[in-house]
Amino acid sequence: MFKYLIVVSPLGFLYGSSGAFLSPENLIGRSGSKFPPDAATLAGLFFSENKRHEIAPHETLKHELFVSGPFWAKQDDPDTFYVPIPRHRLIEDDKDDEWKLNAQRQWQRDPAKQDIEIPYRWQSIDAWQRNASKIRNNQEMSKVPWEYVSFLHPQMKSDERHVLDQDGLFLENAVQMDEDHCLVYLSTYPLPDGWYRFGGEGHMVEISSQEIKPDSPIYELLNTKIQKACALIVPGIWGSKHLSHRYPKHSEFPRAGMKMLTDKPIPYRYRIGQRSTQRGRLGRGRYAVPPGTVYVFKKPLEKTWWDFPEEWFPREGLPLKHFGCGLCLPVEIDGVA
Task: Tell me the mean pLDDT per 10 residues along the chain, length 337.
Answer: 96 61 46 75 92 91 95 96 95 87 88 75 96 92 88 77 78 82 97 88 88 94 97 91 86 94 85 51 74 96 96 83 96 85
Q: Which residues contact 229 (CB under 8 A, 6 or more apart)?
A: 294, 295, 296, 297, 330, 331, 332, 333, 336
Length of the chain: 337
CA angle 283-258-266, nearest 5°?
30
Question: Measuring CA to CA, which residue among 100, 123, 126 is closest to residue 111?
Answer: 100
Q: Are 80 and 126 in contact (CB under 8 A)?
A: yes
173: phi then psi, degrees, rounded to nearest 5: -110, 125
Residue type, 230: C
Rounded-to-integer distance, Cα 51 and Cα 45, Å: 11
Question: Assign residue 91 a region: left if phi > 0, alpha if psi is -120 to 50, beta otherwise?
Answer: beta
- CB within 8 A of 270, min separation 6: which ones? 38, 40, 41, 282, 283, 323
What is the H or E stretch that residue 218 is in?
A: helix 217-222
pTM for the whole thing? Answer: 0.89
Dist CA 106 CA 116 (whole Å) = 17
Phi, psi for 170 (deg, rounded to 5): -140, 155
